[in-house]
Structure 1
Amino acid sequence: MLVVGNGGGEDAIHLFAATLWHEKSNMAYKGKITQWYQSQGYGYITLENSTQRIKFEFDALKNITSQPSKDAVVRFTLSQDRHGNHHATQIERLQSTPLSLFAALVFVTALGFALYQYQYPRVIGWGLGVINLASVVVATLDRRAYAKQQPLTSDPALIFISLFGGWIGLSVCTALFSLPSRSFFYRLLVALIIGVHFAALIWTVSERGLRDLNGLIAEISAWF
């Protein structure tokens, strides 16, 4: 259901044109939940940079399990029923800056300092660069798949990438692309992986740790 706000006919025309474009390109809208009627099972979203309100049913909420705070920012798509009324579907709350993104920035900064100050093995930097380039490609493909409502890369595949340091690129792209949040199990495992990687970095910048790391790299190189 489309509710016209203070913008009048001009806003309605803009929304109609935007609707045609978004439905054609399978892209999503962005707005804020401004009204929420818990007992009646519906609410309204006000479109970004507009006064237009879109009605939604609670069963359209994907990652919102409790009443959100006022002006919670969400992303959604528009659907039209057989009566010609528009309503919001596939509604997801856009998360604030995730801790994994902060961890990625800190880790990259610390690694850069280690490469410069402690003569950290350059092969580690190159290896992480390659795996994170791959993770950016995966996230970009997921972004396109999500826009077309197609299946995304599985959690086990992303966890495998994260094990080798790909969580850095995945964290950045998830925040930049506003990709949907993953399962609790996935987030827990990635948090553990991040913790292990930080511990490994701290250990390997010590004198003994750096010596052991260089020895391990030499042994692996000998295999090839």
Structure 2
Amino acid sequence: MRLQGKITRWDNEKGFGFISSQDDDSTVFVHISAFSHTARRPEAGDPVSYETDHDKNGKTRAENVRFFDQSAGSHLLSAPAVSFTLLFVGFLLVSVYFNRISWLVLIVYFAASFVTFFAYAWDKSAARRGKWRTTESNLHVLALAGGWPGALAAQRLLRHKSSKRNFLLVYWITVFLNVAAVGYLVWSGDAGFLNQLINTFWQNASRAVN
């Protein structure tokens, strides 16, 4: 019978930790070898399902451990999410081609995505080292400001913030708000002030460099 729980402690260097059962709060030992069919490294806080067995000393251990984002619940990070991102980038390119928005908007998105990806990477590194973390609210602000494609890339490639349902819910709300705002401006032809704002910033930045 498969049980459900959460990784409460994990030593990445030694490759073992403990899982807390959601049924009775008991803990069970788990080794990295119990995770099959995945290249992902476990982290404290990851929700998992597992089976139990006994070692040669009769102690209970977890076996056949699976992350929840290996199941159907990972659809938010699957092919449809990537396809949606590619469609949005294509929409921006077409909008730039027909002069509906400034080409600088593309630069803003790429720059914001780069910063957001770095913020995710920094937060994951800080979590492993027990250092000061980047708040989830700041990650959401970066996504709302145009960095959501970089956030999606970090969630898929770094496997960070990819299994917290509440976080993902807020994340996709920020994506919807960002895409809806840009779509409205392009459709209504009211993106002029946005183009002017970006052009002004670009000109000021060029003057500062020169």
Q: TM-score, normalised by structure 2?
A: 0.57
Tell me the equivalent position of 1:63: 47
The C-alpha deviation readout for 1:156-211, integer Å capped at 9, x for no partner, is 11122122111211111111222243462x43432222112212222232362244
Distance 1:62 1:163 in 2: 25
Gaps of 5+ in 2: 1-9, 38-43, 52-56, 206-210
Partner AA of 2:47 in structure 1: N
* Higher-Rg member (1/2): 1
Q: TM-score, normalised by structure 1?
A: 0.54
The C-alpha deviation readout for 1:43-73, integer Å capped at 9, x for no partner, is 9985426xxxxxxxxxx97435xxx5x99xx
State how 1:34-53 maps to structure 2 within 5 Å. 46-48=34-36
When residues 178 and 210 of structure 1 are mapped into structure 2, their CA distance, relative to the original with a 3 A threshold, is same
State how 1:10-159 maps to structure 2 within 5 Å. 25=13, 46-48=34-36, 62-63=46-47, 87=61, 92-95=67-70, 96-98=74-76, 101-102=81-82, 103-118=84-99, 120-148=101-129, 152-159=133-140
Report deviation, 1:155.
0.8
State how 1:141-180 maps to structure 2 within 5 Å. 141-148=122-129, 152-180=133-161
Distance 2:59 2:130 in 1: 22
% same residue: 18
**Contact in 2 for aligned 1:104/1:172 (Cα 8 Å):** no
Tell me the equivalent position of 2:183: 202
Alignment coverage as a number of residue pairs: 170
**Contact in 1 for aligned 2:100/2:191 (Cα 8 Å):** no
Distance 1:97 1:162 in 2: 19
Distance 1:190 1:24 in 2: 27
The C-alpha deviation readout for 1:18-45, integer Å capped at 9, x for no partner, is xxxx96736689xxxxxx9x79x78998
When residues 24 and 198 of structure 1 are mapped into structure 2, their CA distance, relative to the original with a 3 A threshold, is closer
State the Cα RMSD in Å.
Answer: 4.5
Distance 2:193 2:129 in 1: 48
Gaps of 5+ in 1: 1-21, 30-35, 50-59, 72-82
Distance 1:146 1:47 in 2: 21
